[in-house]
Chains A and B, each alone.
Chain A
C-alpha cells in the first residue's frame, strides 16, 4: 500500500506570507497525487491533482504544487496567505492500477493564519 507523510501537523503563517506544506509519498511507480482542503465541519474539497504531464500543477484559490519524482515529493504552496486559507490540508496518493481509485491520505496539516 502507498503511504504519505506530511511534515508538520500544524503550520502558522502571517497573512500575506508564503504558505508551504510538505508532502512525501512512497511509490515504486508514478502515482496520482492530490491535495484536499477541509474546512471545519465540512467534507474534503479538491485543491489540485497531478496525473501526468506538467509537473507544476495549479489549483484553486491560488495554490500550486510541484511533483518531483526524484524526491518523491508533492509540496503545496501559495505565495500570499489569506485569512480564508485557515483549514486542514491533506495530501493523498492513489494506489497503483487497477486499484487506483483507492486513496491513501497523509495525517493532515492544520494551517492557521495570523492577522
Chain B
C-alpha cells in the first residue's frame, strides 16, 4: 500500500520567506509526527498529533514554527520568516495508534535549504 508521502521533496527559499511543507500519512493512521534532521542536531522531535487531542508541540524550536492537521489526515508544517539555521530535512511519520511500542512509518522527507 501507499506509504507516507511528503511534498515538496526539495525546497529552496530565501531567508525571511515563509514555507509550507506537506505530509500525507498512511490511510487510517491516527498518529502523525514531524521530525527535523540536521547536521548539527541530528534527528529531533518537533510535534505530535493524535486524533482529536491537542497536539504535543514541545519540540517546536521557536514560534516561527507551526503545524496543523486537517480532518485527521494531511498535515502542514509552516515555517515563517525562515532563517539559515532552518535548513534541514523535515521528516514526517505516522502510526496506526499512539504509544511508544508502535512502529512509526517515515516519509522520504523534504529537504529545505534557506539561502
Asked whether A and B interact, the reply is yes
- CB neighbours (8 Å) of A108 from chain B are 42-43
Give Cα distance in the complex from A77 to B109, angstroms.
Answer: 27
Q: Give A residues with C-beta under 8 Å from B.
A: 31-32, 36, 41-46, 49, 51, 90, 92, 94-95, 97, 99-108
B 81-115 contacts with A by CB, 8 A:
91, 93, 95, 98-109
Asked if residues A104 and B108 are in contact (CB atoms below 8 Å), the reply is no
B20 within 8 A of A: no
How many residue pairs link A and B with beta carbons under 8 A? The number is 61
Asked if residues A101 and B108 are in contact (CB atoms below 8 Å), the reply is no
Asked if residues B100 and A105 are in contact (CB atoms below 8 Å), the reply is no
Q: Give B residues with C-beta under 8 Å from A.
A: 3-4, 31, 33, 42-45, 48, 50, 56, 58-59, 91, 93, 95, 98-109
Asked if residues B33 and A101 are in contact (CB atoms below 8 Å), the reply is yes
Known A49-B101, A51-B101; judge A104-B4 contact (CB<8 A).
no
Asked if residues B56 and A106 are in contact (CB atoms below 8 Å), the reply is no
Asked if residues A43 and B108 are in contact (CB atoms below 8 Å), the reply is yes
B43 vs chain A, min Cβ distance (A): 4
- CB neighbours (8 Å) of B99 from chain A are 100-101
Give Cα distance in the complex from A99 to B4, angstroms.
Answer: 23
